[in-house]
A and B are shown apart, each in its own frame.
Chain A
């Protein structure tokens, strides 16, 4: 149908039987089984994550955003593209929170072409700004997988070999319009050791599945918006390093934030390196981070020094990357009928009675947790509240880590 029709009448384009969906949930058919499956799969994913594995902590992640006409579909509100961009903004924030020493970059594909939106970089604000700009642009033309891959390949090829190279394609379109044989490009990606993952917004496409299989990435298709968010969340944690990435010692600088204007020294305000190109007066101040090697000034971390190439991070950043290497031990699943307690069975974290047939028990502190808290602990908190509240356990933990 023509595009005008799609936008014109809401009652024509979207036919949602909301009452039916509710019904299905209760009767435990389709929807419920699938969501149950998902929940379990999520936990399984945590179980499968092995500790003491080499992780690619320094990540170079490129995200390809589909901006073809398929992205103007309204099955995600208000449109697929806007919803995607909103989620990606959150993703960028979270990504740098979890992977402070990594970099990210964005590409876009429409009209059978692929364009760079932002270069690989460690500055979340720049990326978010670019994403916000993108939201105002129209989706048009067709998506091209091959062109996107080629562009990503050229950008990632020159990255240092100790860092992981990743590509995430967010694809709303079901077709790709390629100038040549996409399979060759996929092969090239595999050879360049770039891990490609795809999140599909509508259905499973064969070529994407192949891409992910060959390059070791994961392929998922969203069910709805919360699920979309979960899937993006999967890409937050660093993937295990492949064998071919070499390990090397990296020189890093830990600049202190100096507020400037120290008394007696009579320091003058200066331009920071990151805003050197812009015409605005932003970044012109006395405060900032000074590279310990060459004394060039930056207004935010982490960043690679433009003058001497030193990686500048702050100590908390590194510490935060730490939990990927030593995640809290996964909880064991028990049937709640098997767990003997006096009084009602309560979750140690949220103190709410556990009604679910399953209960999760930390192996170290032997406290009970509900499924939600289990996920929360392992996804966001990264430390077990039970273990943290017993002093003797903490020392054990510390010893085991060291």
Chain B
């Protein structure tokens, strides 16, 4: 396959036109050594296009691009990427006749990778980390040498003695493969993978390894500048950035912290008494430790001191306040976190888990003193201290600066121009692709009024309106009677969902729904929700049909796919605006307005629409899939909202599908479902949305596919 003069090995016989265009754009930005933002609908093979182009590019220009770092969100997604990569490498071997010198690697937390018989039994990530640390910390191992009874992790020992020198054989290693490999060779897969990062051409891991400065320091420090960084599913990247830099301290944390400090000082006393000959280190302790203790207690005091009113302020003023009240300078604060860890190390305390709250506070202190810009701290009446990062760029900026190409891609990135603004970078290419389809398998509709012509909306003023809830209920009842298998509904918030469901129950709407389908509700409890999901899928599977009521921004809306019969229709009840009264959000909006000239309203709409798109996009995960997407709010039909829906949905959202009443929507949906149920084979797709190599090269198709892309 020839993309713009570059020979690309593409592991499938057929290629979608948009994949080809996608690769072209990607190539262009690689050439220019710049960043790019690309939007392509899910299910059209983003991953494989990315992998095959970048790997081919690496093979062709080994000097310009040496590494590819693929960041995704969840472990299953990482696994999917690894699978694609494996297929690609197999294809390489087939085509070229030799195994390419290539190492692909997935990295995840210890929890997912540990092979130690006892430690890997633990469920909680932090516990695993702590236990691992207990077995592998350098002082533990030193002690082990003198006293063999002290347990160490034999896997790590093996790795330490042999693993560092043996390079990994070329190939693709997923998490399971690494575990398997570790068991076979007796080496710790986690440390092996971390070590092998320097050697591997493709690294697949989670966002946090790159974005969170604390982890990135450890893991991703040595990555060369000539790397290509890919952020997949990047529609929420700014929130991830913000999260990784934010700290929340509650009263409980403070209490635990106090306890930790007492423990620590006891330890220090014990050690300094017991080992008097370590004179030098003793002096070090006293030098390093006491300021920290002082600091921490003072922070604690000042928090307690201030806890009786709500404050929201910026770091400089906070620091100044500190100084005035408890006489701490900025400088010692800054090294708080580092000192704590060095203290713990010298004290030979293995179980770092117990000190997590203390390190949290230390982190807070470090963060607050390091970054003076774009952060805000707020204290609620309940002594909760939120130290939140307002500017997504702080976390992501070093990455954009450090690596030559950063690819930000997802199925739902519209409107594209917002991302460069909030992440503060200059992309070379920005493009959005639509799906080429042999049949119109998306049916988006905007339902804006009920049969009684009352406008439906989740607007605050009409929330309590009985006519609106009734109309929402009618919409759902009508839909469940005509849509087979699974229907997923998204509400704007848990509270709203609760009030509406309660109202429906009184109006008898719930009963009517249950005549046709089983009803499942997402709750804030993760275990309960996953049980509901399981049963939901079962009900879809055996033909009973099911409705899932869930919440935008919830767990369901982010990570779970409702492909094929699991989601034949998605209904979005209302526009999922964030809760605008929250202090953090207010501060962030203000900051964005001041720093980047983004109006509050723009950002809110942008945020709401990307979540709406994300929700409805759950139902459509491929070209053979089909689904009805219903936006049930009057406000969706306004130009500012409609324009922010991703292009691949907008394309099918013609004027006569906006502003429908419930009846009209039902008629449209009925006809759509019948048409989609007609037999559909791969042959019908060929030439239209599937291209062979010859078709791709013909002039005619080149022209035809041109308009599938839209530069921004």
Contacts and interface: CB of A to CB of B under 8 A. Distances in A.
Interface of A: 1, 12, 14-17, 20, 30, 33-34, 37-38, 41, 70, 75, 142, 145, 174-178, 181-183, 200, 202-208, 220-223
Contact of A37 (B515, B544, B684): B684
B540 A175 contact: no
28 contacts: A1-B478, A1-B512, A14-B667, A15-B664, A30-B675, A145-B543, A175-B484, A175-B516, A175-B517, A176-B542, A176-B543, A182-B542, A183-B542, A202-B484, A202-B673, A202-B674, A203-B676, A204-B484, A205-B565, A206-B540, A206-B543, A207-B541, A220-B677, A220-B678, A221-B678, A222-B674, A223-B675, A223-B678
Candidate in A174, A182, A207, A220 with the most chain B CB atoms within 10 angstroms: A174
B675 A178 contact: no
B679 interface: yes
Given A37-B684, A75-B670, A222-B674, A203 B484 contact: yes
B18 interface: no
B564 interface: yes
Contact of A223 (B483, B542, B564, B674): B674
Given A204-B484, A205-B543, A206-B564, A221 B677 contact: yes
A120 to B, nearest CB: 26
B543 A182 contact: yes
A181 B539 CA distance: 11
A14 B670 CA distance: 12
B311 interface: no
A197 to B, nearest CB: 13
B656 interface: yes
Contacts of A1: 474, 477-478, 512
A33 B441 CA distance: 14
Given A30-B440, A203-B674, A204-B484, A175 B679 contact: no
A16 B481 CA distance: 18
Contacts of B600: none
A178 B543 contact: yes
B466 interface: no
Nearest to B626: A204
Given A12-B451, A15-B663, A206 B541 contact: yes
B399 to A, nearest CB: 43
A202 B484 CA distance: 9
Contacts of B482: 174, 202-203
A203 B673 contact: yes
A220 B656 CA distance: 29
Nearest to A33: B439
Contacts of B684: 37
A177 to B, nearest CB: 7
A174 B674 contact: no
A298 to B, nearest CB: 42
A205 B440 contact: no
Interface string B430-451: 0000000001100000000001
Contacts of A177: 544
Nearest to B665: A15
Interface string B469-490: 0000010011001111100000
Contact of A205 (B474, B485, B664, B675): B485
Contacts of A30: 440, 675
Given A12-B451, A183-B542, A174 B667 contact: no
Contacts of B568: 203
A243 B687 CA distance: 37
A155 B512 CA distance: 35
Contacts of A37: 678, 684
A41 B683 CA distance: 11
B674 A178 contact: no
Contacts of A41: 679
A177 B514 CA distance: 12
Given A1-B478, A37-B684, A202-B670, A207 B678 contact: no
The 9 closest A-B pairs by CB, nearest first: A207-B543, A221-B677, A206-B565, A203-B673, A204-B677, A205-B484, A174-B484, A176-B543, A175-B545
A75 B666 CA distance: 12
Contacts of A174: 481-485, 516, 545
Interface in B537-572: 540-545, 564-565, 568
Given A178-B542, A203-B483, A203-B674, 6 more contacts: A34-B678, A174-B482, A174-B545, A176-B542, A202-B484, A205-B484
A223 B679 CA distance: 12
Contact of B675 (A15, A34, A142, A200): A34
Contacts of B515: 142
A185 to B, nearest CB: 10
A147 to B, nearest CB: 13
A208 B667 contact: no
B77 to A, nearest CB: 25
A100 to B, nearest CB: 30
Contacts of B543: 145, 175-176, 178, 182, 205-208
Candidate in A14, A145, A202 with the most chain B CB atoms within 10 angstroms: A202
B675 A176 contact: no
Given A1-B478, A12-B451, A204 B673 contact: yes
Contacts of B679: 41, 220
A4 to B, nearest CB: 13
A51 B457 CA distance: 61
B545 A181 contact: no
Interface in B308-366: none
Interface string B238-266: 00000000000000000000000000000
Nearest to B482: A202
A37 B678 CA distance: 10
Contacts of B678: 34, 37-38, 220-221, 223
A183 B542 CA distance: 7
A207 B251 CA distance: 53
A16 B663 CA distance: 10
A220 B679 CA distance: 7
B439 to A, nearest CB: 8
A25 B677 CA distance: 19
Contacts of A70: 481
Given A203-B677, A206-B564, A15 B667 contact: yes
Nearest to B512: A1
Interface in B645-678: 656, 663-664, 666-667, 670, 673-678
Interface string B485-521: 1000000000000000000000000001001110000
Contacts of A220: 677-679
A206 B485 contact: yes
Nearest to B674: A223
A328 B568 CA distance: 42
B448 to A, nearest CB: 15
Nearest to A143: B543
Nearest to A203: B673
A38 B678 CA distance: 9
A206 B537 CA distance: 11
A102 B385 CA distance: 81
B623 to A, nearest CB: 16
A200 B474 contact: no
Given A174-B516, A204-B484, A206-B484, A221 B544 contact: no
A176 B677 contact: no
A39 to B, nearest CB: 12
Contacts of A208: 543
A223 B439 CA distance: 15
A144 to B, nearest CB: 10
A206 B541 CA distance: 7
A181 B542 contact: yes
A207 B484 CA distance: 10
A7 to B, nearest CB: 15
A34 B674 CA distance: 11
Contacts of B656: 20
Interface string B395-439: 000000000000000000000000000000000000000000001
Contacts of A181: 542
